[in-house]
Amino acid sequence: MPLSAEQPVAVFDSGVGGLTVLHELLVSLPTEDYLYLGDTARFPYGVRTQEELQGFAIEIAEHLLEAGAKLIVVACNAASAAALGVLEQHLEAGGHDVDVIGVIAPATQLAVAGSRSGRVGLLATPATVASGAYERAVRAADPHVHLESVACSDLAPIIQAGFPFDGEVVDTVRGYCAPLRAAEVDTVILGCTHYPLVAPMLQRTLGRGVTLVSSGAGVARSVERALAARDLLNPRADEGSYRFRCTADVESFKLLGSRFLQMPLGQVVHVELAERMAA
């Protein structure tokens, strides 16, 4: 069955972090309908193996296609790094002619283009750093740019756990920023969709001369181009809808999610994914 412009754009992440990407999509492409899935039962993805993340991504994509998605955004750096290529191959083999957009390439392109010194920093989860995906993306964009990567093992779980932040969190952020300051980077990629929530803290620690780059704005542009190329932009004049699903506690998702999205969430539906049920 051919895709329709009235079908929703689907976005998924390991938790609520991808809502920072959804926020940019809602602002940039307000006439689209959106379906967001947070795999909160298996959060965090940043400590998972590449094979696990590939399995999760395929499973979630199949779920979202059954829900009518016309395009899928992998709004998770760890899943984008480990599974984007495998997911595209899986969908193509299954006869699904749907574009899949990750978060790594859009953020990398913005960072490399904006860096004055050619020294770029990366803050990301251990799985994302270990994958080497950002190193490859930077090298492809400009082989003369140096990337200083820092694996942040506990920053996403700290942010996911909620607010307010205390002095211990500030010390944690300072520790992760120290290698970037020493490397004298002028641009830092926030390589996890949770990290924009602590952007003010990061900016204060890194200094005002350092530019922070998150993936949301770049992803929104990529989605718009992909939809336009297939004549799938929703033609309505008014605002579209946005719906939410999660794999763990609905109330926790709603409470924290509204802070990430900076808009009311409304109804959140709990879903069980096949692998989780088997587990």
DSSP 8-state symbol, 8: P
Check if 192 is active-site.
Answer: yes
CA distance 76 to 80: 6
Taking the C-alpha atoms of residue 47 and residue 153, their distance in angstroms, rounded to an integer, is 8
Which residues, 6 or more positions from 161, have their beta carbon under 8 angstroms from its beta carbon?
Answer: none
SS3 271: coil
CA-CA distance, 1 to 192, in Å (whole number)?
A: 35
Longest dimension (CA), the chain: 54
Phi, psi of 149 (to 5 degrees): -100, 140
Residue 142, phi then psi, degrees to nearest 5: -165, 105
> What burial class does residue 141 get, using C-beta atoms within 10 Å of its C-beta: 0-12 exposed, 13-18 middle, 19+ buried?
middle
From the candidates 152, 177, 192, 246, which is the catalytic residue? 192
Alpha helices in the chain (DSSP H): 19-28, 50-66, 77-93, 104-114, 126-131, 133-141, 155-160, 167-182, 199-206, 216-229, 250-261, 274-278
Return the number of other C-beta atoms located less than 10 Å from residue 217's C-beta.
17
Q: Is 20 helix (H, G, I), strand (E, B) or coil?
A: helix
Length reported for the chain: 279
Residues designated as active site: 76, 192
